[in-house]
Amino acid sequence: MSRVPDVSDYIKFKKLSILRDVDNVIDERKTRLLNRFQIYNPFGQTILPQNFFIPNRLVPVPTPEPVVPSWTWTQTSAPLYPFISITSSTDGSKLAAVSDFGVYIYTSSDYGSNWITGDPVSTSFLYWTSITSSADGQYLAAVNNGEKIYTSSDSGVTWTKQDGSPVLEWKSITSSADGSKLAAVANGDLIYNSSDFGLNWIPGSSPMLEWKSITSSANGEYLAAVANNSRIYTSFNFGSSWEETVSDPLSWTSVSSSADGSKLAAVANNSPIYTSSDSGQSWNEKIGSPSLEWRSVACSPDGTKIAAVAGDSPIYISSDSGVTWTSTGSPSLGWTSVEIDSTGTKIFATYSDGIYRGVFS
């Protein structure tokens, strides 16, 4: 026999109904609050603000780990040759490199991912020492020991021996941004200049030193050159005349310039790196840089980013015009030359077995 519901049963039923209604209201308010305050992370997932309060519970939101930018280094597909010098367009997309002995010059049009050769530069093997490029990578010029200067006007597809250049022990060559003005140094000789894409060459009034490296401003007007056991020399008239600066007489190996010629960086053997912010009139030894057997240095167009390489050492970079220096974490190899793009986020370096590319991201 079933029991007849009494008043107590009615009260229990009403309590349950009220509790269900309260839960529904709370859930609805939760939803409204979430829709109002929800945050989306970069992956499109919904997250809550830190310590977002929901009735009856606290939801902690984990703080994501910060992404620390770093350098990533890879060896390019360039042949495993003893490359001695590399040059690039301003944006780093077009590259050209020479090995210390060969008939070909290697080029890349995809930031160093793939490398090709154009026509043979010479019928005989040449001892290449340096190569330079216009800002867009169209005009190239290369020098070697004991031969004339070679130029290309088609990004390295074809090459022309410039009979107007003397036969010297060339060590380094530099170019203006448009490729029309060139300057080159040789061992124990004068500094030579060309204003017609390398067709004709004339000597400036420089001393005859053991020149090692030369650099140019974008317009070709400001030049700087370094030699072994000598002070640094500068020119402010396209290489017609040269002045000795107040720099220390060191075993200089390389020098590089900003596009406007105001900022310079120079390296020597077993010495800190030196910089100038007044077109070479004064030089400052950067105590923050290590003393290594520096081989090559390269400046970005604005002069704020500087890369330097030494033998059997990681590649170093400065992002504040040489005030401070840090290792990029590259392999410690026998580096021979270095280039840096306009953003300072791509570095290209040669060594005895190929070419490396570093990307900062």
- Which has the higher per-residue pLDDT, 79 or 45? 79
pLDDT of residue 51: 47
Taking the C-alpha atoms of residue 135 and residue 285, their distance in angstroms, rounded to an integer, is 29
pLDDT of residue 36: 47
Please give the DSSP secondary-structure letter assigned to residue 329.
Answer: -
Confidence band, pLDDT 50/70/90 cuts, at residue 287: confident
DSSP per residue over 108-139, as a string? ESSTTSS-EE-S-S-SS-B-EEEEEE-TTS--
The C-alpha angle with vertex 186 and arms to 299 and 305, in degrees rounded to 5, equals: 5
pLDDT of residue 123: 84
**Position 327 pLDDT exceeds 50:** yes
Tell me phi and psi for residue 288, to 5 degrees. -70, -10
**Position 147 pLDDT exceeds 70:** yes
Q: What is the mean pLDDT of residues 210-215?
A: 98
pLDDT of residue 69: 76
- Which has the higher per-residue pLDDT, 214 or 20? 214
pLDDT of residue 190: 97
**Position 40 pLDDT exceeds 70:** no
Taking the C-alpha atoms of residue 285 and residue 297, their distance in angstroms, rounded to an integer, is 15
Cα–Cα distance list, 61 to 47, 64, 98, 111, 178 (Å) = 7, 9, 55, 41, 55
Confidence band, pLDDT 50/70/90 cuts, at residue 118: confident
299 three-class SS? strand
What is the percent of the chain where pLDDT is above 70? 81
**Position 28 pLDDT exceeds 80:** no
CATH architecture observed for domain 71-360: 7 Propeller (2.130)
Q: Which of 55-69, 256-270, 277-291, 296-310 has the lowest mean pLDDT?
A: 55-69
pLDDT of residue 359: 98
Instruction: Give the H or E element holding residue 26.
Output: helix 7-37
- Every domain of the chain and the residues it spans: 7-59, 71-360
Confidence band, pLDDT 50/70/90 cuts, at residue 52: very low
**Position 224 pLDDT exceeds 90:** yes
Please give the DSSP secondary-structure letter assigned to residue 245.
Answer: -
Taking the C-alpha atoms of residue 198 and residue 216, their distance in angstroms, rounded to an integer, is 15
Q: What is the mean pLDDT of residues 111-121?
A: 94
The C-alpha angle with vertex 59 and arms to 56 and 60, in degrees rounded to 5, equals: 145
How long a stretch of residues is the chain?
361
- 270 exposed, middle or buried (CB, 10 Å; 0-12, 13-18, 19+)? exposed
**Position 318 pLDDT exceeds 70:** yes
Taking the C-alpha atoms of residue 113 and residue 15, their distance in angstroms, rounded to an integer, is 74
pLDDT of residue 61: 58
Contact call for residues 33 and 48 (beta carbons, < 8 A): no
- What is the residue type of 312? D
In this structure, what token pair is assigned to residue 128?
A: 């290449």
Contacts of residue 71, defined as CB under 8 A and 6 or more positions apart, other chains included, come to 328, 329, 330, 347, 358, 359, 360
pTM: 0.82
N-terminal to C-terminal alpha carbon distance within the chain: 82
The C-alpha angle with vertex 80 and arms to 78 and 84, in degrees rounded to 5, equals: 85
What is the percent of the chain where pLDDT is above 90? 78
**Position 37 pLDDT exceeds 80:** no
- Mean pLDDT score across all residues of the chain: 88
